[in-house]
A and B are shown apart, each in its own frame.
Chain A
Amino acid sequence: MSEPLLTVRDLKTQFYTDRGAVRAVDGVSFDVEQGEIVGLVGESGAGKSVTTSSILRLVEEPGEVVGGKVRYGDRTLVGFDEAAVADEDGRPKLVHSEEMLSNREMREEVRGNEIAIIFQDPMESLNPVYTVGGQVREFIQINRDMSKEEAREEAIEMLRRVGIPEAEDRYSDYPHEFSGGMRQRVLIAMALGCRPNLIIADEPTTALDVTVEGQILELVDDLVDEFDTSFIWVTHDMGVVAEICDRVNVMYLGRIVEQGPVDEIFHDTKHPYTEALLNSIPRPDRTVSDLSPIKGTMPGAMNPPAGCRFHPRCPDARRACREVEPDLLEVGLDHRSACIKHGEVGYWESEPLEHTEAQPETVEGPR
């Protein structure tokens, strides 16, 4: 296969708070090929949205991208070099590498015209005091160097393409005159109208009801065929993933725990977290009592658990899981999983962990 459209390598983003640095994204790597839809899945707080805003360098204070590399085609969106001077602790200090795009280049050459984004909440993403058409037109005008008139024509055309009836008339309506599903279509029209190669869709259907969600997914599917646009689809919904994604990255607490083609992820699940996510989807052939939701909540990223980050909630956890930090290992064709089961670090010889968080003594073993 040729060079991927987007490569993310060991991306790290931190948020500085009064109580210390939160490592929201802690070494994430994945690729996006031209024309494919890549899923980014995980619970709330796993770092999915921070990953996508890090790619576009839109992380806001007090957050900061602190390491890793993001390449888009032959451009470096994020890159670091080791500085000649070390910091106080004697570690080599990281500085932005020279080939990294300037903020201006990022704004003028990448955002919108190469990589566009669709936000989660269609209710809040449109400016309430400007017309819907005007907003679509503005972004098209900026990103495609069109005249106002051409951009207007294009905006109407895109609104029509995403299935807004009487697009010409609705051009001058305001966002509050649109329903949630219609607004989401407007956001999609915005993204497509800028003719980007990659669209980051950040939970775009979460706020919509299922019938509308279905229509939107179908629409995206058609548009991908037509424009050959790549997507990064951020979601917590495995059902949506199954429906539209080509490849999937499962995130847990700032890291990718499993990645691979969608069929492998669903039918040859390797990581216990992915398995648990799949088991917690309600299905018509199972009753509520058959559901096995993941126990507990995701710990904060401030002090992630030692060893495997998922071990306190993992049904398969053993003692070794608390000591060894698992790497992403090849477990199939283009399929990787970060569980020490797959490695040679003695998982199978280790004692199983009892999940009784209230009584940590039992985990420690007899005294």
Chain B
Amino acid sequence: MSLLRYTVYRLLQAIPVMFGIAVVTFLMVNLAPGDPVDYMISEELASEELIASIEARYGLDEPLWRQFLNYLGFSWFLGLLGVPGFADAPPGLLQGDLGLSMYYDRPVSELMLTRIPPTLMLVLSAYAFALTLAIPLGVVAANRRNKPTDHISRIIALFGVSTPSFWIGIMLIVIFGVWLGILPTGRMVYPWRDPAFYGYGNHLELWYQTLRHLFLPVVALGTLQMAVIMRVERSSMIESLQSEYVQLARAYGVSERTILRKHAFRPSQLPVITLIGLNLTTSLGGAVLIETVFAINGMGRLIVQSIQTLDYQLILGTTIVLGFVFVIGVIITDLAYAYIDPRVTYGEEA
């Protein structure tokens, strides 16, 4: 099976998983205590009619199974097919409609679309930072095992693994923002906006400012990832440097440089890729903290707000979308794995 077919196959496989995520999330949110309508109106104003009208507006007056079908968008299809009782059902998840946020009174999908890019920018930049440091450091540490370079990089890694990201964030703000005053600590600027919006002359300046603004949050979020990846890279490289195929390459006169870059490097990347694939999605959790510390309006802050305000549709929407991101992350990891390791067979025949 070709890599392309394998990709399609894996995506198809993800459909039931995503459906499962939607079901479980929907049930969990409905089982959670508290009534969203209570949050919206004060005690004195609460009349039977008002509550009923709000419930009707958000579709909360219907039975749970019906709400579920509505949410997923099955009802809309049933309505399309002319099934009685579903005639004017609203579009749902399958139609790309995640409902209306009660708190913001705007469509959930619209809210998320404005919040996803900042988070993506933060997380991907943090990973770029982590990888560009971790991989060379890990390789060098493995190559100079038990020498000073190795010890220094291991101390850095230990520090990175054991220090919470928000603390690093706060320290960076204190040092670079407050004491030295050389880097901005909040009010993130986004390169996809009009430079004039921020009062910058051109796009180049906007990009430069974005990098300046990103620097501290990226270091805060990326340090843990850098440390974790470096440790795995190091141990994985040490393992392949001791392998027989590396000894064989040495015995055939391959230079140490080529061994390091080719013979030992590529087989060592398998555990690193697994780690990156899994951590990339879980580091969204870290992004929640960093977005709070550096006041970045991303998904993380949106999730926190939605829970604080018991914004029923928003919790559902953000959780489900994050779940999907996780699934897609795992698929990308698998694909990268299949690309690098020839021993991975492409599914089905097994």
Contact = CB atoms under 8 A, between A and B. Distances in A.
B256 to A, nearest CB: 9
A176 B343 contact: yes
Given A129-B266, A129-B340, A176-B342, A124 B243 contact: yes
B267 A111 contact: no
Contacts of A194: 252
Interface in A107-130: 107-108, 110-113, 116-117, 119, 121, 124-130
Contacts of A116: 251-252
B248 A121 contact: no
Which size bracket describes the interface of B in this complex? 10 to 19
Nearest to B248: A125
A107 B343 CA distance: 31
Contacts of B250: 58, 111
Contacts of A124: 243-245
B341 interface: yes
A-B residue pairs, 5 tightest by C-beta: A112-B252, A111-B253, A174-B342, A112-B253, A124-B244
A176 B253 CA distance: 24
B44 to A, nearest CB: 70
Contacts of A142: 252-254
B234 interface: no
B342 A107 contact: no
Contact of A112 (B251, B263, B342): B251
Interface in B246-262: 247-255
Given A112-B251, A125-B248, A127-B267, 8 more contacts: A58-B250, A112-B252, A121-B244, A124-B245, A126-B248, A129-B267, A143-B252, A194-B252
Contacts of A138: 254
Interface string A184-215: 00010010001000000000000000000000
Interface of B: 243-245, 247-255, 263, 266-267, 340-343
Contact of B251 (A117, A128, A130): A117
A139 interface: yes
A216 to B, nearest CB: 17
A108 B252 CA distance: 9
A56 interface: yes
A126 B248 CA distance: 8
Contacts of A125: 244-245, 248
A54 to B, nearest CB: 13
A282 B343 CA distance: 39
A174 to B, nearest CB: 4
B340 A107 contact: no
A150 B248 CA distance: 22
Nearest to B246: A127
Nearest to A130: B266
B250 to A, nearest CB: 6
Contact of A111 (B244, B252, B263): B252
A205 B243 CA distance: 19
